[in-house]
Amino acid sequence: MKNFKATRFFKEVRQEGNKIVWPTRKETLITTAMVFVMVIIFSIFFLLVDNIISWLIKLILGI
């Protein structure tokens, strides 16, 4: 097993941490808005599909 040196490990962790590119505020707001829009679109889609399937089942069963 290789020698484990805590100082080297933390130095490498810090170097990797410096490579992180954080999104800008504008990018974050746009992405968040896109998520909300997609949630609304999919909610409406599944509501319609659920109502259609429910209507078909009632039609088939004669309820």
pLDDT digits (tens, 9 = 90+) for 11-61: 999 999 999 999 999 999 999 999 999 999 999 999 999 999 999 999 999
Position 31, amino acid: T
What is the H or E stretch that residue 12 is in? helix 6-18
pTM (two decimals): 0.64
Q: 23 and 31 in contact (C-beta within 8 Å)?
A: yes
Q: Is the pLDDT of residue 2 over 70?
A: no
What pLDDT sits at residue 60? Answer: 92
Domain spans, the chain: 24-63
